[in-house]
């Protein structure tokens, strides 16, 4: 049975939604998808749902939908047609209760070519059979544009559309298929060459063929033949809609989408390593983020990606200790970087000493490397190579330094992190800062930020790890806030002072565990007598 969820903070979450075309999914309190929609501008469209005026003027159905929304997801598409295709696919998968369109069995049009036939034809279909040996193009969101494209292909390439089998007598003599000779004078081999050219056109290799049409359109406009110019313009629009490469979406897991071609970890890593001038692809990346929504419970997160993919077992969460009652992202970032890599270096040194059968011990966060002629990165790299050679899986399990450190923020956060790395002797570990507003990459010693193309795989990889660090930090912050709210229940319990409250929480960990504990066990805590233990147990039972 699904557990009801709390409503998310819509205003806060909307701040992460981009002004891009895409698809959004509304979920109810049980996490079920109840509505799927598309938008030219995702943020504007989603914002409309959560304005008080929208709820007041909405009809009963829309009002019921808005009141049922507890969370939402979104997926960016390359264009509006792509968003339309993805919307239809998701509606068919989830069958949301508030959607009407696309819930039937109707599918978008595909173009099918039976390449094994002697005279292949271009036909329309709505079902793709991966085992029939045919070539498929699409799906296509604009059926009208697709039909115009097929008409153009008949005249331009002399290929046959619709029907089956060898050309009829009428088709053999028709001037429609005269490119450069009629079908009656064409062999099946020559006709197949036409089909291959038409297939290349459908795959998007259309620039050379569209250029003459553009010249003809301009010439028509120059001689004031605007009707012909408009006709060619409309034809060009149809052809571009049909032959423009589109992202193909497939679902690999429920609630998760995979965008083939958009996420390619190995290629993205190689591109990132080249863009940053690294020695090679950064196979191990660690990213830090600070969550300080209030001055209470300032926390940080560290997430790790191995070979471009999340390594959840290596994620870490931190409660910031060095600042109290204030917000200081720079000091918080410095603390978490110091704690993370002082510990990693200590564990690396422990492993090195164990390998050397040494009984020496290392005090973490206070390590003296002066006895070694190797630099700290050299020690880490050498130990990592030895362990990896002995056991390839050890490279994942054992502590090691990353190939790239990423901090969420600009120059200030980067400078704070760099200062701590310098103190630890980690002078050569690559590190960057990623500023969210304009996705600027800051590098140590460089005043101007580096900008990667918005559609580059390298930037998308950085965004994925940054967003994952943000999610991990916010989740920890929300967990601590919930614990604090629960712990505040003890403040109202008679006889429980602040010192007794802290003693109880140290012993049992949480109010939830304390609620399940008997009065006899509560009485074993120092400073808690049998009578007070009975009072606490009864109080929590009534408040449960």
What is the structure's pLDDT at 287? 95
Model confidence, pTM: 0.43
Distance, CA of 327 to chain centre: 29
Dihedral of alpha carbons 366, 371, 375, 381, sign: negative
More confident residue, 76 or 133: 76
pLDDT band at 433 (very low <50, low <70, confident <90, very high): very high
| Domain shared by 359 and 285, yes or no | yes
What is the average per-residue pLDDT within 278-282?
91
pLDDT in tens, 291-334: 875 555 678 889 999 999 898 889 988 888 777 656 788 988 99
Angle made by CA atoms 338, 344, 350, in degrees to the nearest 5: 130
Residue 498's domain is classified under what CATH number? Answer: 1.10.150.20
pLDDT band at 154 (very low <50, low <70, confident <90, very high): confident
What is the average per-residue pLDDT within 127-134?
75
What is the structure's pLDDT at 415? 93
Tell me the C-alpha distance between 124 and 120, whole Å: 13
What is the structure's pLDDT at 439? 86
Among 235-239, 407-411, 494-498, the least confident range = 235-239
Residue 65's domain is classified under what CATH number? Answer: 3.40.1440.10
Assess whether the previous peptide bond of 139 is cis (omega < 30° from 0).
yes
> Could you tell me if residue 255 is inside a domain?
no
What is the average per-residue pLDDT within 245-270?
55
| Domain shared by 500 and 423, yes or no | no
DSSP-derived secondary structure letter, 168: P
More confident residue, 263 or 103: 263
pLDDT in tens, 434-462: 987 778 899 998 888 888 887 788 998 99
Q: Reduced to 3 states, what is the DSSP secondary structure of residue 111?
A: strand
| Domain shared by 450 and 521, yes or no | no
Among residues 365, 362, 341, the alpha carbon closest in space to that of 428 is found at 341
What is the structure's pLDDT at 393? 44
| Domain shared by 429 and 505, yes or no | no
Give Cβ neighbours of residue 335 (< 8 Å, ≥ 6 apart): 300, 318, 320, 321, 322, 323
Give Cβ neighbours of residue 530 (< 8 Å, ≥ 6 apart): 519, 523
What is the structure's pLDDT at 3? 59
> Could you tell me if residue 235 is inside a domain?
yes
> Could you tell me if residue 82 is inside a domain?
yes
More confident residue, 268 or 149: 268
> Could you tell me if residue 249 is inside a domain?
no
* Domain end among 208, 243, 278: 243
| Domain shared by 507 and 474, yes or no | no
More confident residue, 277 or 224: 277
| Domain shared by 239 and 270, yes or no | no
| Domain shared by 356 and 437, yes or no | yes
> Could you tell me if residue 138 is inside a domain?
yes
What is the average per-residue pLDDT within 339-346?
90
Tokens 């036939």 — which residue? 117
Is a pLDDT exceeding 50 seen at residue 193?
Answer: yes
More confident residue, 320 or 406: 406
| Domain shared by 396 and 508, yes or no | no
> Could you tell me if residue 364 is inside a domain?
yes
Give Cβ neighbours of residue 155 (< 8 Å, ≥ 6 apart): 176, 179
pLDDT in tens, 221-230: 777 877 777 7
Q: Are strands 22-27 and 33-39 parallel, antiparallel or unpaired?
A: antiparallel
Among 188-192, 196-200, 365-369, 538-542, the least confident range = 365-369
Angle made by CA atoms 42, 48, 53, in degrees to the nearest 5: 175
* Domain end among 243, 274, 295: 243
pLDDT band at 372 (very low <50, low <70, confident <90, very high): very low
Give Cβ neighbours of residue 114 (< 8 Å, ≥ 6 apart): 120, 121, 123, 132, 133, 134
Range(s) of the domain holding residue 538: 493-543
> Could you tell me if residue 488 is inside a domain?
no
| Domain shared by 237 and 351, yes or no | no
Is a pLDDT exceeding 60 seen at residue 105?
Answer: no
Question: What is the number of domains present in the chain?
Answer: 4
Is a pLDDT exceeding 70 seen at residue 161?
Answer: yes
| Domain shared by 122 and 43, yes or no | no
> Could you tell me if residue 208 is inside a domain?
yes
Beta-bridge partner residues of 114: none
* Domain end among 94, 117, 136: 94
Q: In what order do the strands lie in the sheet with 109-113?
A: 122-125, 109-113, 135-140
What is the structure's pLDDT at 246? 52
Q: Are strands 440-442 and 284-291 parallel, antiparallel or unpaired?
A: unpaired
| Domain shared by 508 and 471, yes or no | no
pLDDT in tens, 5-35: 678 888 888 888 888 888 899 988 888 888 8
| Domain shared by 443 and 498, yes or no | no
Among 4-18, 391-405, 465-479, the least confident range = 391-405
């Amino acid at each position: 049975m699904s557990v009801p969820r709390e409503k998310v903070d819509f205003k806060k979450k909307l701040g992460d939604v981009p002004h891009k075309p895409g698809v959004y999914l509304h979920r109810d309190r049980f996490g079920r998808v109840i509505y799927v929609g598309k938008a030219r501008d995702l943020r504007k469209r989603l914002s409309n749902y959560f304005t008080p005026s929208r709820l007041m003027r909405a009809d009963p159905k829309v009002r019921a939908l808005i009141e049922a929304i507890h969370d939402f997801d979104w997926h960016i598409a390359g264009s509006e047609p792509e968003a339309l295709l993805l919307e239809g696919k998701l509606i068919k998968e989830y069958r949301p209760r508030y959607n009407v369109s696309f819930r039937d069995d109707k599918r978008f049009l595909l173009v099918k070519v039976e390449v094994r036939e002697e005279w292949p034809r271009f036909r329309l279909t709505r079902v793709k059979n991966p085992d029939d040996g045919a070539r498929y193009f699409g799906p296509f969101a604009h059926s009208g544009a697709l039909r115009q494209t097929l008409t153009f292909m008949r005249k331009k390439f002399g290929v046959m559309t619709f029907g089956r089998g060898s050309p009829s007598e009428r088709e053999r003599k028709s001037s429609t298929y005269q490119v450069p000779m009629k079908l009656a004078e064409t062999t099946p081999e020559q006709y197949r060459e036409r089909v291959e050219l038409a297939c290349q056109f459908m795959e998007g290799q259309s620039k050379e063929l569209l250029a003459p049409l553009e010249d003809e359109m301009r010439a028509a406009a120059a001689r004031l033949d605007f009707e012909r110019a408009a006709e060619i313009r409309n034809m060009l629009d149809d052809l571009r809609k049909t032959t423009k490469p589109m992202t193909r979406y497939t679902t690999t897991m429920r609630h998760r989408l995979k965008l083939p071609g958009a996420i390619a970890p190995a290629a993205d890593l190689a591109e990132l390593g080249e863009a940053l001038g690294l020695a090679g692809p950064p196979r191990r990346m660690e990213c830090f983020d600070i969550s300080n929504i209030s001055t209470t419970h300032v926390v940080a997160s560290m997430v790790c990606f191995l070979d471009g993919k999340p390594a959840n077992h290596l994620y870490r969460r931190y409660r910031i200790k060095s600042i109290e009652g204030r917000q200081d992202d720079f000091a918080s970032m410095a603390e978490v970087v110091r704690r993370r890599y002082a510990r990693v270096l200590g564990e690396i040194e422990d492993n090195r000493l164990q390998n050397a059968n040494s009984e020496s011990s290392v005090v973490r966060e206070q390590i003296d490397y002066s006895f070694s002629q190797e630099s700290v990165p050299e020690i880490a790299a050498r130990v990592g190579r030895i362990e990896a050679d002995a056991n390839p899986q050890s490279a994942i399990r054992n502590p090691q330094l990353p190939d790239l450190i990423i901090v969420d923020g600009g120059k200030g956060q980067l400078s704070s992190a760099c200062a701590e790395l310098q103190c630890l002797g980690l002078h050569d570990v690559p590190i960057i800062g990623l500023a969210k507003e304009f996705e600027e990459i800051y590098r140590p010693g460089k005043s101007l930020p580096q900008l990667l193309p918005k559609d580059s795989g390298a930037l998308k990889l950085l965004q994925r790890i940054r967003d994952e660090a943000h999610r991990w930090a916010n989740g920890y912050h929300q967990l601590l806030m919930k614990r604090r709210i629960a712990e505040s229940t003890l403040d109202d319990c008679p006889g429980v002072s602040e010192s007794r409250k802290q003693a109880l929480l140290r012993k049992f960990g949480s109010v939830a565990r304390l609620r399940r504990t008997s009065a006899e066990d509560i009485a074993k805590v120092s400073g808690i007598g049998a009578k007070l233990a009975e009072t606490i147990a009864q109080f929590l039972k009534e408040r449960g």
